[in-house]
A and B are shown apart, each in its own frame.
Chain A
Amino acid sequence: GAVVSQHPSRVICKSGTSVKIECRSLDFQATTMFWYRQFPKQSLMLMATSNEGSKATYEQGVEKDKFLINHASLTLSTLTVTSAHPEDSSFYICSAAPGTSQETQYFGPGTRLLVL
Chain B
Amino acid sequence: GESVGLHLPTLSVQEGDNSIINCAYSNSASDYFIWYKQESGKGPQFIIDIRSNMDKRQGQRVTVLLNKTVKHLSLQIAATQPGDSAVYFCAENIGNQGGKLIFGQGTELSVKP
Contacts and interface: CB of A to CB of B under 8 A. Distances in A.
Interface of A: 4, 6, 32, 34, 36, 39, 41-46, 49, 51, 57, 91, 93, 95, 97, 101-103, 105-110, 112
A109 B4 CA distance: 22
A44 B98 contact: no
A93 B89 contact: no
Contact of A109 (B43, B93, B101, B103): B43
A102 B93 CA distance: 10
A97 B99 contact: yes
14 contacts: A6-B43, A42-B3, A42-B4, A43-B3, A43-B103, A43-B105, A44-B89, A49-B98, A49-B100, A93-B43, A95-B43, A102-B98, A107-B44, A107-B45
A44 B63 CA distance: 23
Interface of B: 2-8, 32, 36, 41-46, 89, 93, 98-106
Contact of A43 (B2, B43, B45): B2
Contacts, number: 66
Contacts of A105: 99, 101
A56 to B, nearest CB: 12
**Chain B facing A: main interface SS:** loop
B43 A46 contact: no
A38 B46 CA distance: 17
Given A41-B8, A109-B43, A102 B102 contact: no
